[in-house]
Amino acid sequence: MSAAKRPAKAIDRRRFLQDASRGVAGCALAGMGLGWLATSTARALPAQALRPPGALAEDDFLAACIRCGLCVRDCPYDTLSLAELGVDAPATGTPYFTARDVPCEMCDDIPCVVACPTGALDHGLDRIDDARMGVAVLIDEERCLNALGLRCDVCYRVCPVIDEAITLEQSHNARSGHHAIFMPTVHADKCTGCGKCEKSCVLPGASAIKVLPHRIALAEAAEHYKLGWKENNPLVDELIDLPDRLPGPGTDNLVAPGGYEPAFKLPGGPGQ
């Protein structure tokens, strides 16, 4: 009497095809919605939300992070939290921190990376100075006290990679005419993005120096420009290297010994 024992009829096949196509269609529709959500949430990672040290690039991160929160639990400074839905934060349940609230203290043993069971935080990161959570950018030069010519220096002093990630670059203070400006200057190749500078900026409210994700903070190097002071190779290998017109023997510079008389002289030129 069970359905399985009945011989299959044509009507069963039709029924099956109808049910199957209905199921496929419904789920395809749901899948499109889910796919849209998965890609749009990934794009919507807000600029002030920083990933923990060693986090893979955002695209890879969302394939790897299972949102278990073990990194959050093992952070001794309660820096990290899991994003909550609807709060201005990255994909629900993924770990992040906001530097102005609690920065990363850059523990030597990097407990958050050790805790990660999936490698969404790359276990290859063994020196915290190699972490690249973001890049500090002195974003408001109109209000930064140092930029105004005062000596605040707090962001520079608190930097765990002081004199490498942030230096104070001296320049002339044109306003007073006889003082110096000590400009906090970030060097992206050394900055870990820990956010201690952003946290300690003395300005009320938002910080003048902010840690931004690399994708926002950094431009791409222009491959089609050659930096002549770094690379001597000409763009085209066969280019003829003409002699530079330096004063000296064999040139039309009469001042230098061995110089010769030019074939013609410009009116009002030298020697008249």
Partner 1 sequence: MKLKTKSPIGAEAIEAKGWIGAHRFLILRRISQAFFLSLFLIGPWFGLWWVKGNLSGSLTLGILPLTDPFIALQSLVAGHWPEMTALIGALIVGVTYALIGGRVYCSWVCPINPVTDAAHWLHDKLNMPKGWQPKANTRYYMLAMVLAVSAATGTIAWEFVNPISMLHRGLIFGVGFAWAFVLGVFVMDFVLARRGWCGHLCPVGAFYGLLGRGSVLRITADKRAACDDCMDCFAVCPEMHVITPALRGGDDDTPLILSPDCTNCGRCIDVCSVDVFHFTHRFDKTPSPGRVRTPSNSASGADKAA
Rule CB under 8 A: which residues touch partner 1?
1-2, 19, 22-24, 26-28, 30-31, 34-35, 37-39, 41-42, 59-60, 62-70, 72-74, 81-87, 91-93, 115-120, 123
Between the CA atoms of 56, 57, 58 and 61, what dihedral angle is there, to the nearest 10 degrees? -30
Choose between 3 and 246: whose C-beta lies nearer to partner 1: 3
Choose between 42 and 139: whose C-beta lies nearer to partner 1: 42
CB of 88 to partner 1, least distance (A): 10
Choose between 118 and 167: whose C-beta lies nearer to partner 1: 118
CB of 228 to partner 1, least distance (A): 41
Chain-centre distance for alpha carbon 197:
16
CA 164-155-123 angle, to 5 degrees, is: 55
Choose between 68 and 147: whose C-beta lies nearer to partner 1: 68
CB of 81 to partner 1, least distance (A): 7
CB of 194 to partner 1, least distance (A): 23
Choose between 26 and 234: whose C-beta lies nearer to partner 1: 26
CB of 48 to partner 1, least distance (A): 17
- DSSP 8-state secondary structure symbol assigned to residue 225: -
Write out the DSSP string of 76-135: TT---EEPPTTSSSSSTT-EEEETTTS-----TT-HHHHH-SSSSB-TT---GGG--S-E
Pick from 76, 77, 128: which is nearest to 101 by CA?
77
Instruction: Quickly count helices (H) and strands (E) in the chain.
Output: 7, 7
